[in-house]
Amino acid sequence: MEQLVIYQVGLIPSQYFGVLGNKDLDGFKALTFLAIVLIVLNSTLKSFDQFTCNLLYGSWRKDLTEHLHRLYFQALVYYTLNVLRDDIDNPDQRISQDVERFCRQLSSMASKLIISPFTLAYYTYQCFQSTGWLGPVSIFGYFILGTLVNKSLMGPIVAKLVQQEKLEGDFRFKHMQIRRELMSKELWLYIGINTFDYLGSILSYVVITIPIFSGVYGDLSPTKLSTLVSKNAFVCMYLINCFTRLIDLSTTLSDMASYTHRIGELQEALMEMSLKLQDCEILDDSEWDLDKASGRPAPEPADTAFLLERVSISAPSSDIPLVKDLNLKICEGQSLLITGNTGTGKTSLLRVLGGLWASIRGDISPEGDLPRLRLH
């Protein structure tokens, strides 16, 4: 609907040439009224299109953010991702900024990508009717060349954008260095895009001159020829504009490629840890059910909370043991004072008991009616 209205609006200037050339006052008034109605209708439809894109943006961002949050704050995933793993940088930035930018750009691209095939087909037909086969072929060939050039310029930018987003959360000197390298590569992409944009503005006139100078419209008066040139110029220029908008999306696609890589990398890590947690929970339940199915009486409640036998502890990023061959019995209701210098493993012991860290050797078993402790 919007494209049909745009087509009618685009024909208004060519009709003005005919009305003014014939000095038709009544026709001028009627044409002006029609132009105002079509412009208001076009503005309304365009506003609805923008409103729909904003709704899609909000819905997609809400769903994707909630999905990542559910995985991110499940059990020990948050701690593991931020403290124990260093392969996923700035997960909070990925969930907040990268998701927002990804959904914003995806929503802006959605309507263009959906409408473009129908628009291209319609205006290709109109261009063929006006200029013959040479017009559409010239325009298609021109923008195929533009696409290939911009694609070759876009490749190096994606890798640099990924590095830039990785260093955005740290904002160190290295970030500024990467940003300068990115800007130098983006310069050539923008040069390519702008060159093809402005060359496209004169291509429409080059195409329309072919049938004019070949004598196809030799029997028309100057007024009718001006009307025809204006109409055909609009059709060719709008077809060129459709291709231009698609080429302009190359900058958006390069940004989205980096955001997709970072969000996908985060989701893969979250899903991997989530599946490991589920497997551990299923195994815990099966062990508990096996004890009950064997007919053995449930152990009587005891005051022992944890029993540690020859437990050795080290930091996840180090092989040097902080605690070695520890035997300890922790009883419920009894106070236990652990003293020592900084870095001797006092807090590390609590992390192991809480399941945040895994012991490198030994056995940690809850006693009484507590379920078996499984370290992840």
CATH number reported for the structural domain that contains residue 186 in this entry = 1.20.1560.10
One domain for residues 196 and 159: yes
- Cα 266 to Cα 360: distance, rounded to the nearest angstrom: 27
DSSP string for 55-120 = HHHHHHHHHHHHHHHHHHTSTTHHHIIIII--SS--HHHIIIIIHHHHHHHHHHHHHHHHHHHHHH
- Cα 208 to Cα 129: distance, rounded to the nearest angstrom: 12
Are the C-beta atoms of 260 and 96 separated by less than 8 Å? no
Q: Does 295 fall in a domain?
A: no
- Cα 269 to Cα 267: distance, rounded to the nearest angstrom: 5
- Cα 166 to Cα 154: distance, rounded to the nearest angstrom: 19
One domain for residues 144 and 34: yes
What does the longest C-alpha to C-alpha distance in the chain come to?
109
Residue 174 tokens read as 């290295």
Per the structure, the complete domain to which residue 72 belongs is given by 2-278
- Cα 134 to Cα 128: distance, rounded to the nearest angstrom: 8
One domain for residues 126 and 207: yes
Considering 261, 278, 295, which residue would you say is the last residue of a domain? 278
Instruction: Find residue 304's DSSP bridge partners.
Output: 331
Q: Does 46 fall in a domain?
A: yes
One domain for residues 199 and 119: yes
Q: Does 284 fall in a domain?
A: no
One domain for residues 66 and 209: yes
One domain for residues 206 and 76: yes
Q: What is the pLDDT along the chain (376 residues), one digit of tens a residue?
A: 666 777 777 777 777 777 777 777 888 888 888 888 888 888 888 888 888 888 999 999 999 999 999 988 887 788 878 777 777 878 888 888 889 989 988 888 887 788 878 888 888 887 787 777 777 888 888 778 777 776 676 666 656 666 665 655 555 444 444 444 545 555 666 666 667 666 666 776 777 777 777 776 667 777 777 777 777 777 777 787 777 777 777 667 777 887 888 888 888 888 888 887 776 555 555 544 544 444 544 444 456 777 888 888 887 777 788 888 888 888 877 787 888 788 777 888 888 887 777 778 887 776 544 444 443 3
Q: Does 342 fall in a domain?
A: yes
Chain centroid to CA 159 = 15
Q: What are the backbone dihedrals phi and psi of residue 342, each rounded to the nearest 5 degrees, phi first? A: -65, 135
Are the C-beta atoms of 135 and 210 separated by less than 8 Å? yes
Q: Which residue pairs, CB below 8 angstroms and at least 24 apart, start in 2-6? A: 2/42, 2/45, 2/46, 2/49, 2/115, 3/115, 3/118, 3/119, 3/122, 5/38, 5/41, 5/42, 5/45, 6/42, 6/238
Residue 333's CATH number: 3.40.50.300
Are the C-beta atoms of 91 and 165 separated by less than 8 Å? no
Q: Does 286 fall in a domain?
A: no
pLDDT of residue 161: 62
Considering 263, 278, 293, which residue would you say is the last residue of a domain? 278
One domain for residues 240 and 324: no
Q: Which helix (H) or strand (E) holds 322?
A: strand 321-331
pLDDT of residue 63: 93
- Cα 246 to Cα 251: distance, rounded to the nearest angstrom: 10
Listed in sequence order, the residues at least 6 apart from 140 whose beta carbon sits closer than 8 Å to its beta carbon are none
Half-sphere exposure in the Cβ direction for 272 (13 Å, CA): 10
pTM higher than 0.75 for the full model? Answer: no
One domain for residues 100 and 224: yes
Within a 10 A sphere around the Cβ of 278, how many other Cβ atoms? 12
Q: What are the backbone dihedrals phi and psi of residue 172, each rounded to the nearest 5 degrees, phi first? A: -105, -175
Residue 92 tokens read as 């909070």
Q: How many Å is the Cα radius of gyration of the chain?
A: 34
pLDDT of residue 369: 46
Q: Does 136 fall in a domain?
A: yes
One domain for residues 268 and 309: no
One domain for residues 269 and 335: no
Q: Does 289 fall in a domain?
A: no
Are the C-beta atoms of 235 and 130 separated by less than 8 Å? yes
Are the C-beta atoms of 216 and 131 separated by less than 8 Å? no
Q: Does 297 fall in a domain?
A: no
Listed in sequence order, the residues at least 6 apart from 79 whose beta carbon sits closer than 8 Å to its beta carbon are 356
One domain for residues 312 and 230: no
Q: Which helix (H) or strand (E) holds 241?
A: helix 222-293
What is the number of domains present in the chain?
2
One domain for residues 83 and 214: yes
pLDDT of residue 229: 74
